[in-house]
């Protein structure tokens, strides 16, 4: 275990949970019409809903025969670049460095992905206000 200070990394808020589905249109209708979730936006092969303080992302499996499920927890951070650097300092396996995912009306959504010690994928997200 590193003896580096954890001052720059605080994963204390889940901002998004993601699940993978086979039929995106069918799932979008189910979550909207059957479950009554508030639809937020589409982004390519993903749809987003608001569920209380947490956003739910539903993504289409790259291949319809691929297994579904694959839940990912996304932790909100203030500064994704700084968090990414600290995680690298701690020796965390980074799967995908911070990258722009979507330009929203008043902010940009950035994400990065990492592995926990058991190779579970964790997402890191940051909603960066535009200057």
Q: Which domains does the chain have, with CATH numbers?
A: 14-129 (3.10.180.10)
Contacts of 43 (CB under 8 A, 6+ apart): 101, 102
Model confidence, pTM: 0.68
- Which tokens hold the place of 103? 């330009």
Per-residue pLDDT tens listing for the chain (131 residues):
455 555 667 788 888 898 888 888 988 998 888 888 899 999 888 999 998 889 999 888 776 655 555 688 888 898 999 999 988 888 888 999 999 988 888 899 999 998 876 677 888 999 988 87
């Amino acid at each position: 275990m590193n003896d580096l200070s954890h001052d720059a990394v605080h994963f204390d808020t889940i901002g998004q949970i993601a699940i993978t589905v086979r039929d995106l249109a069918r799932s979008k209708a189910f979550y909207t019409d059957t479950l009554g979730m508030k639809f937020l936006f589409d982004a390519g092969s993903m749809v987003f809903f608001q569920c209380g303080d947490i956003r739910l992302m539903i993504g289409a499996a790259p291949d319809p025969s691929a297994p579904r499920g694959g839940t990912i927890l996304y932790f909100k951070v203030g500064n994704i670049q700084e968090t990414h650097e600290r995680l690298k300092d701690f020796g965390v396996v980074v799967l995908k460095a911070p990258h722009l995912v979507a330009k929203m009306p008043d902010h940009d959504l950035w994400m990065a992905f990492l592995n926990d010690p058991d190779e579970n994928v964790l997402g890191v997200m940051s909603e960066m206000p535009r200057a």
